[in-house]
Chain A
């Protein structure tokens, strides 16, 4: 009985059980918290969704890409404009997501040639360009006057509607991307990240997969942007400035850029910490900065790496060798690796 239980617990079912519990909890939560926290919860989920896009592009494919606020803006404005033109909101959201995808592929083209710092500059320029275009095409976007967003409501109030829509999209995103991570595509994206030189010899076209990663990331960013419009209810170009990009980067790197749980944990942390630090007034930024530095210094893998760090430390203090907080796992020797092997 216990053995069966343990086996189930150790397997993939654990993730499934915890996932279902978490979703159930999130579905019930708005009944127990006041409206303000429902609003914050929506913010958390939207940042988490946006962060998922960065996990694919930066974490899995290894591209330093700073165009995410631009994709987010295209999604937000696209959804708002199309639904104001009479498209049903879900259709507008998907179409805006596809616009973001197209722009993602466009931004991805330089990525095929550029890397590191140069790619960062090129993609950063795209974010700025989107912001400029939003002001330039004021006939469509209303420029700095701002664009009022038609709010969706399925009969339970706009905030609650946003809560459930965000939750559904977040769940779809996590499930779909965990499939991506476990299948051939996940392997190939990681190969582009770690052994780009060798991908050609494996019959993998690194440039195509970089473009695909940009497309996926931009689509997710665009969808998150569409949701964000519902949250802020009024769009202006400065919302999508560098500050927003930095929030995304903090969400992803604080949570852990390699894992899908990373942006979720990161988003919860960022929104709640900023909220708690409101009372500190002018000290807020300093304290937030110190917390960031501490986490990045002691948990390079982000907050999601905390459990494994603790486990390793526990194991380290029990064994004679001692491991230390950041010690690497002991490598397997040839002798151990090959049955009957001699060194």
Chain B
């Protein structure tokens, strides 16, 4: 299978601080894990891919097209969706409207004029967007919350809604930043089950930052481990979690020596 995303030699310097150091990895369809200790540069890598941070050197390629030096909105429209560690909801819009925001940037700006005068084609596009949002919410068992204001649903639900918003545009690449953090066990299942279905049916590549290793192991066909801005291990979950370098980074040198 060909890769959806290729990152080659990406380096990011923040002043004198090297946040990412020659990171090279590729992501295929299905779930890929991105793990590593705090401060390893996982979120920085997400920021580079989605255009929020520009790399000092190196390249990010989505299905053959370079994303370098493109703005976040353009990268999103090229098929990259992402979530944030803390959910970003528009509080006075409904849950449904927040999900629809995932599609709103795809229709051209000139269309607003037709929408405001309720032109039939514009009405139809709006109807389709509403339908797509409702369908996805139902898949996540949140269909009954469509009309509720986003700020009156609890944080874990907002996190799931944010994932739905990222999925609604059927992206080629989805970047999930700690989607399960702060979720109770039952909520994690409610998130992951439908997520797997949608990602599979839309042939989406999902790159997921997650600290819950059991979840990552179960979900991902491949894992990349970052430490101090470098990739210190790549491979199947089983391979990666037995690498000495990875054990050292996670547990300290003594543990790695004792277990090998």
Contacts and interface: CB of A to CB of B under 8 A. Distances in A.
Interface stretch (B34-42, B145-153, B200-208): B145-153
B184 A334 contact: yes
A187 B93 contact: yes
A204 interface: yes
A187 B101 contact: yes
A338 B158 CA distance: 12
A280 interface: no
Q: Give the size range of B's interface with the partner.
A: 35 or more
22 contacts: A179-B117, A185-B112, A187-B101, A187-B104, A190-B93, A194-B88, A198-B88, A199-B105, A200-B51, A200-B72, A200-B73, A202-B76, A202-B104, A205-B105, A206-B73, A329-B152, A333-B154, A334-B154, A337-B145, A338-B187, A339-B144, A342-B186
B112 A200 contact: no
Contacts of B153: 331-332, 337
A190 B52 CA distance: 21
Given A183-B115, A191-B101, A202-B165, A342 B51 contact: no
Contacts of B50: 200-201
Nearest to B118: A179
Contacts of A212: 109, 112
A26 to B, nearest CB: 24
Given A188-B105, A200-B71, A202-B105, A332 B148 contact: yes
A343 interface: yes
Interface of B: 50-52, 71-73, 75-77, 81-84, 88-93, 97, 100-102, 104-107, 109, 111-112, 115-118, 122, 126, 129, 141-142, 144-145, 148, 152-154, 156-157, 165-166, 169, 184, 186-187, 190
A198 B104 CA distance: 13
Given A191-B101, A337-B157, A201 B115 contact: no
Contact of B76 (A188, A201, A332): A201
Main secondary structure of the interface of A (DSSP, over half): helix
Interface in A4-31: none
Interface string A165-185: 000000000001001100111
Interface centre among B52, B83, B101 (most CB of A within 10 A): B101
A343 B184 contact: yes
A187 B77 contact: no
Contacts, number: 131
Contact of A332 (B82, B88, B107, B154): B154
B152 A188 contact: no
A188 to B, nearest CB: 5
A205 B71 contact: yes
A198 B184 contact: no
Given A191-B101, A341-B187, A342-B184, A184 B107 contact: yes
Give the interface residue-count category, chain A: 35 or more
Contacts of B77: 203
A204 B90 contact: no
Contacts of A202: 73, 76, 101-102, 104-105, 165
A184 B104 contact: yes
A332 B73 contact: no
A263 to B, nearest CB: 18
Interface of A: 176, 179-180, 183-185, 187-188, 190-191, 193-195, 197-206, 208, 212, 258, 329, 331-334, 337-339, 341-343
A183 B144 contact: no
Indicate the member of B83, B106, B186 with the most A CB atoms within 10 Å.
Answer: B186
A222 B137 CA distance: 43
B187 to A, nearest CB: 7
A341 B186 CA distance: 7
Interface-central residue, A180, A183, A188, by most chain B CB under 10 Å: A183
Given A184-B104, A187-B101, A338 B116 contact: no
Nearest to A336: B154
Contacts of A191: 90, 101, 104
Contact of A185 (B71, B116, B154): B116
Nearest to A341: B186
A167 B115 CA distance: 24
Nearest to A201: B82
Given A194-B92, A197-B88, A202-B102, 12 more contacts: A184-B107, A184-B111, A184-B112, A193-B90, A194-B89, A198-B88, A199-B105, A201-B76, A201-B166, A204-B105, A332-B152, A343-B184
Nearest to A331: B152
Contacts of A183: 112, 115-116, 122, 126
B154 A200 contact: no
A208 B152 CA distance: 30
6 closest residue pairs by CB, A with B: A200-B72, A203-B105, A203-B76, A198-B88, A204-B105, A195-B88
A214 B137 CA distance: 34
Contacts of B88: 194-195, 197-198
A337 B140 CA distance: 12
B171 to A, nearest CB: 10
Given A184-B112, A205-B73, A338 B141 contact: yes
